[in-house]
Amino acid sequence: DISFDTTKSAENDRPSVTRRHIENEVRVANGETIILGGLRRKTGEEGSEKIPFLGEIPGIGKFFGTTKNSTSSSEMFIFITPHIIVDPKLNLEKQRKLGLEKRQGDIDDFLQKLQIAKKAEKSKLFEKSLKLFFEK
């Protein structure tokens, strides 16, 4: 159930509100996109300008004025892609992981360097413990 209000300026500084409404029922699989369409709008304007008195003479009055007709139409489509969230906590963790992957820099390179640094720290501690053990 979707409604749209379209406003445009009108006389007396009061907006003219046009309400468009669509109601639909669909069954769709998780992650599939549906398209809602059919919100169409067609507007037309007519206007004329003429020279006073000369533009009102039957037959030749058309030569002393202009007539303007214009029409415009628009159609709105709405694309909806539903995603089912089974466990909000798991989804939040997944979003955090995706956010980390989108950060600048290469996350894999960072994790590899972190593992190398941890191994280097462990080997330094092991060497220190060996020195303490054999120096006595």
| Same-domain check for residues 95 and 129 | yes
- Per-residue pLDDT of 45-84, as tens digits, reads 898 888 888 888 888 888 888 889 999 888 878 888 888 7
Whether 64 and 130 map to the same domain: the answer is no
**Which among 46, 49, 52, 53 is positioned nearest to 65, based on CA atoms?**
49
Q: Are residues 105 and 116 in the same domain?
A: yes
- pLDDT confidence of residue 119: 92
pLDDT per residue as tens digits for the range 95-106: 777 777 666 566
**Does residue 102 share a domain with residue 78?**
no
Query: What's the pLDDT band for 16 if we cut at 50, 70, 90?
Result: confident
Q: How many folded domains does the chain comprise?
A: 2
Same domain assignment for residues 79 and 17: yes
Which range of residues forms the domain containing residue 52? Answer: 1-84
Q: Are residues 13 and 58 in the same domain?
A: yes
Same-domain check for residues 64 and 100: no
Three-state DSSP state, 112: helix
Rg of the chain (C-alpha set): 36
User: Model-level pTM greater than 0.85?
Assistant: no
